[in-house]
Amino acid sequence: MNQYSRRRSRRRRGRSRNNLPLILSGAVLALILLAGGIFFFKNKGGFPVSLLPASSSNAPGGQALESSKETEPLTEEQALQNLLDEADRLAAGYDYDGAIALLTGNEQFKDTEEAASAVAKYEEIKSTLVRVDPSKVTHVFFHSLIMDTSKAFDGDHKQNGYNQMMTTKDEFDKILQAMYDRGFVLVRLHDIASETTDENGNPVFKAGDIMLPPGKQAFVMSQDDVCYYEYMDGDGFASRMIVGEDGKPVCEMKMDDGSTSAGAYDLVPILDEFIENHPDFSYRGAKAVLAFTGYNGILGYRTAASYGTAEYQAEHPDFNYEEEKAQAAKVAQALKEDGYELASHSWGHRDMGAISMEDFITDTDKWDTEVAPLVGGTDIILFPFGSDVGDWRPYADSNERFQYLKSKGFRYFCNVDSAQYYVQIGADHMRQGRRNLDGYRMYYDLPESNPTKTHLDDLFNVEEVFDRSRPTPVPPMG
Ligand SMILES: [Zn+2]
């Protein structure tokens, strides 16, 4: 009846037997680099001609709640049921200690038969939990989801890029369900390893103890470029993120009749809904990592310094730069409270391993000045283009780019790699490879494209997921 018992009765499917070596796939990397380059140049194409309304009537997060209704006192039975439900919710998210503490700490009900039997049930499950091997945590990533394939695939010059690099809503829905059915559970990067102090009080990075029932496997999800770039306007994507009436992040999308609708128009609200219905898909409330560049602003708000100039203001009298920044910061805060981790994706979508050291510093500082204050700082960087500041071997202390990022507070470094597992836990940082689940990857993993490809077998059946509304063949990269 409740989520918890549903979870227990669910069948577990086989785990992957696919264990690719931890090597960088040079060809894939090059392709990603090339495709990323296409995006970069398009993105930098100029300033906006049209802007969203500066202040939205659909962002009532700060408004007063409805005047409080007459609240009748709960019966004792209802109060106990609420407590048991709350404990079940915690346990469904694998926080058995929290569930037990909630029940045993409740003076009114701790000695009831119901509470005692729930505690016994949680203790029993706890004794069966298995520690996740931190080196066996896969990481998948997406870009903004295509909500309307007819607009993304309308034959214009952006179609190929979307077809290669984006995932459709339909595909994303199927991926969530398939991975859930296979026992995948979302975790945070900070759950895999985190900074703590050794016996001498010095900071040291340690692998975390993620405890899951047998048959479950941990994974990380991320989404790049959650900026709702201006070039995407009219192409079937959300236009920005707002804080909904329930205080949770939700997306806006422009409708054909010119109106703006708030709803599940991208990964965040879709994932939230899925976890609402399947709380055992999320370890202790973990959601995804969201990465932002800075040059076009974040979350659909035009927060880059170039929008704050007198010239821009003169050309766009209705635009309120300070309000854009305030709204972006408000949404970022709501995302963090909702379980999302926020990350840098470099300021200018730069190849952070290849650009000059001077440009590297300029870009890193710009993100630090323009974006970090909006998101409240971060210790995560998801490199664009699948770039990295080192090769597959652990970062050397002599690596000046690594040192510079560390000096800016970064401790988690993610590149792009098609290996199932790529986790390195260093003395003061963690690295992880990420797998692109986009049109390019899925199309070239279809049996009809290449019967020997098995990049995705551990995650889902690509034939069931691949969206047939895509133009095919999905063009090769480059
Ligand atoms: Zn990117």
Each residue's pLDDT, cut to its tens digit, for the chain (478 residues) gives 343 333 333 333 333 333 333 333 334 434 443 444 333 333 333 333 233 333 333 333 334 444 455 677 889 999 999 999 999 999 999 999 999 999 999 999 999 999 999 999 999 999 999 999 999 999 999 999 999 999 999 999 999 999 999 999 999 999 999 999 999 999 999 999 999 998 998 889 999 999 999 999 999 999 999 999 999 999 999 999 999 999 999 999 999 999 999 999 999 999 999 999 999 999 999 999 999 999 999 999 999 999 999 999 999 999 999 999 999 999 999 999 999 999 999 999 999 999 999 999 999 999 999 999 999 999 999 999 889 999 989 999 999 999 999 999 999 999 999 889 999 999 999 999 999 999 999 999 999 898 887 889 999 999 999 999 999 999 998 7
Report how far ligand 1's centroid is from the alpha carbon of 63 (Å): 35
CA of 60 to the centre of ligand 1 (A): 30
Residue 49: which residues within 8 A CB-CB, separation 6 or more?
none
Quote the ligand 1 centre to 385 CA distance (angstroms): 6
- Give the pLDDT of residue 70: 61
Cα of 101 vs centre of ligand 1, distance in Å, is: 42
Q: How far is the CA of 289 from the centre of ligand 1 (A)?
A: 13
Output the pLDDT for position 202.
Answer: 87
Buried b (16+ CB within 10 A) or exposed e, 272-297: bebbeebbbbbbbbbbbbbbbbbbbb
Q: Which residue has the tokens 């290669």?
A: 164
Residue 348 Cα to ligand 1 middle (Å): 10
Report the Cα–Cα distance between both ends of the chain, in Å, rounded.
52
Token readout for 147 is 């909500």
Ion ligand 1 — residues with CB < 5 Å:
224-225, 384
In what helix (H) or strand (E) does residue 430 lie, and over which residues does it extend? strand 430-436
| Ligand 1 center from residue 384 Cα (angstroms) | 5
pLDDT at 63 (0 to 100): 41
Ligand 1 centroid to Cα of residue 59, in Å, is 27
Provide the pLDDT for residue 169: 98
Query: 26: CA distance to ligand 1 center in Å?
Result: 18
Cα distance between residue 382 and residue 412, in whole Å: 8
pLDDT for 53 equals: 33
The Å distance, Cα 345 to ligand 1 centre, comes to 7
DSSP 8-state secondary structure symbol assigned to residue 370 = I
CB 221 within 8 A of CB 141: yes
Q: How many A from CA of 224 to the centre of ligand 1?
A: 5
Taking the centre of ligand 1 as the mean of its atom positions, its distance from the CA of residue 89, in whole angstroms, is 35
Please list the residues that pair with 220 across neighbouring strands. 139
- Calculate how far, in angstroms, residue 250's C-alpha sits from the geometric centre of ligand 1: 21
Question: Dihedral through CA 327, CA 333, CA 336, CA 338, nearest 10?
Answer: -80
Centroid of ligand 1 to alpha carbon of 203 (angstroms): 31
How many A from CA of 374 to the centre of ligand 1?
19
Both structure tokens of 193: 């390893």
- Please give the distance, rounded to the nearest whole angstrom, from the Cα atom of residue 226 to the centre of ligand 1: 9
Report the sign of the C-alpha dihedral through residues 442, 446, 451, 454, in that order. positive
- Distance between Cα 21 and ligand 1 center (Å): 25
Give residue 154 CA to ligand 1 midpoint distance, Å. Answer: 22
Is residue 465 packed enough to be buried (19+ CB in 10 Å), middle (13-18) or exposed (0-12)? buried
Distance from the alpha carbon of residue 437 to the mean position of ligand 1, in angstroms:
13
Contact 36, 349 (CB under 8 A): yes
Rounded Cα distance, 454 and 92, in Å: 32
231 C-alpha to ligand 1 centroid (Å): 14
| d(CA 39, ligand 1 centre) in Å | 8
Whether the CB-CB separation of 216 and 432 falls below 8 Å is answered with no
Tell how far the Cα of 349 is from the centroid of ligand 1, in angstroms: 6
